Structure 1
Amino acid sequence: MKLETLQQDFRAWLTTASPDAAGRLGADAAAGLAVYQNNYRAQLMGCLETSFPRVHAWMGDEAFLAAAIAHVDSHPPHAWTLDAYADGFGETLAALYPDNPDLHELAWIEHAMSQSFVSADAAPLPVESLADIDWDAARLVLAPSLTLRAASTNAQDIWIAMNDDQPPPDSEMLAGAWGLVVWRRQFGCYLRQVDAIERDALVHVQANGRFDALCAWLVERLGEDDGIARAGELLASWLGNELIAGVEAA
């Protein structure tokens, strides 16, 4: 048997327990194969437990174990590091629990916080560098660690309480449209719930970047006076919280 074929059969056994692959590997190897597969699955389960401790606590042992087994059964590792294995677990939870948006958002927060921590660095902008910027031709560059999504539940309050080892509140639906923003500021990762205008403004900046286009979009949404005022408020907040990594000439 060629080494490549042996490797393919061994992978097929680990990921799917393929009886055909096991047969080609030999009857004498059955006991050893079971040990390898148990170790493989245990490592993947441990990776999910480590990556989603608050989701685990929120769901409980039995439900989390069942979800983790379902994920391991359908998602073999896709990268060279196990750190990446958690990438699709939120989608598995959404498929298993389609009517639990609190769980979907909690899983997103947990994963976004860990991804933000290992994202590329971005130095804070010196205040003096902003003095001579032509804002009519400026392009905002968001921090590489920033990620966001729509929010419909109080998952932020749940995550914060659990992170602080406090009893979490009951799950509740939010009134109106909101968003969740996660980013890293130097050595700390931050989570913030924002209103729909700020969420959509950040999406707009991600897609376009031009500050004048953002102002025009806000004026269209809020009217001239309120739109310009909100643009200034958002810019000041984003700069102060280091959500903006750079300002470039468009």
Structure 2
Amino acid sequence: MNLAQWQQAFHTWLVSASDESAQVLGNNTAGLAVYQNNYRAQLVGCLEQAFPNLRRWVGDEAFLAAAISHIDRHPPHAWTLDVYPEGFHLTLGELFPNNPDVHELAWIESSLNEAFVAADASPLPMDVLAAVDWDTAHLQLTPSLRCHGLTTNAEAIWSALWQQTPAPEAVMLAEAGGLLVWRRQFTSRLRQVDALEYQALVHLQGDGSFVGLCDFLVERLGVEEGVEKAGEWLAGWIGSELIVGVVDDLPVSHFSEL
């Protein structure tokens, strides 16, 4: 057996503890179990560190069971454990199908972690906007931005847990909305928005055109209110550093450092 085959057998043992892989490795089950326990403990610790508020919300026992289920289904796929927590909220969606607050909380914590290590971007200087041709302008969103639909009061729950104050009971929102997570300077931010602003930002992520954003809002609000809302949100998004660059179809005016 060459080194590559031995490494593959050892990987298989860590992930599944199969009899076949144990036999290939010498059938020293007790000794191999030490390595597997250490492997699992590191991954559980990784998830516990990434989701402290979620763990407090669901309880240690339920969190550990969910972590083990995730580890069994999804072994690490990258060279660093920093990315391992990214899919945990999807596993929770399967394990807690009737508790959307749980997977929305997990999404919040995972996205805050992702935003913190996302690529840097410089704020867009306000004085450059006067020279922009808005008929051809494409808006560039900060690379740390994450958007997700919201159906529960998960934002209020997470905020209370983060501040170590009593958290409210989970309830469904009267109207679905959205969550935004991004990094501003050196701090990850979380904001709850209404459904229309969430949909507008998702649309902007896919299209980027300011005219397209205006058309999107005009279809839903009418001409006057739609154009007014586009201008209002544009100013707010630039001020919050959600928008970090503007690119014209003519000469390129790019003010972000991506």
Matches within 5 A, 1:15-34: 15-27=15-27, 29-34=28-33
Match of 1:136, SS state, is: coil
Residue 83 of structure 1 is matched in structure 2 by 82
Residue 125 of structure 2 is matched in structure 1 by 126
Q: Any stretches of 5+ residues in structure 2 without a counterpart? A: 250-258
Residue 203 of structure 2 is matched in structure 1 by 204
Deviations along 1:159-182, whole A, 9 cap, x unmatched?
A: 111111111111111111200000
Deviating above 3 A after TM superposition, structure 1's stretches of 4 or more consecutive aligned residues are: none
Q: Any stretches of 5+ residues in structure 1 without a counterpart? A: none
Deviations along 1:88-135, whole A, 9 cap, x unmatched?
A: 111111111111111111000000000000000110011111121111
> 1:34, CA displacement in angstroms?
1.0
CA distance in 2 between counterparts of 1:24 and 1:229 reads 69
CA distance in 2 between counterparts of 1:232 and 1:203 reads 17
Residue 136 of structure 1 is matched in structure 2 by 135
> 1:184, CA displacement in angstroms?
0.5
Amino acid at match of 1:180: L
CA distance in 2 between counterparts of 1:144 and 1:178 reads 22
Deviations along 1:6-29, whole A, 9 cap, x unmatched?
A: 1111111110001111012113x3
Residue 4 of structure 1 is matched in structure 2 by 4
Amino acid at match of 1:50: Q
> 1:31, CA displacement in angstroms?
2.5
Residue 180 of structure 2 is matched in structure 1 by 181
Residue 54 of structure 1 is matched in structure 2 by 53
Matches within 5 A, 1:32-71: 32-71=31-70
TM-score (normalised: structure 2) = 0.95
Match of 1:131, SS state, is: helix
Amino acid at match of 2:93: A
Residue 244 of structure 2 is matched in structure 1 by 245
Task: Indicate the RMSD between aligned Cα atoms, in angstroms.
Answer: 0.9
> 1:30, CA displacement in angstroms?
2.5
TM-score (normalised: structure 1) = 0.98
> 1:185, CA displacement in angstroms?
0.5
> 1:136, CA displacement in angstroms?
1.2
Match of 2:238, SS state, is: helix
CA distance in 1 between counterparts of 2:98 and 2:48 reads 23
CA distance in 2 between counterparts of 1:85 and 1:162 reads 23
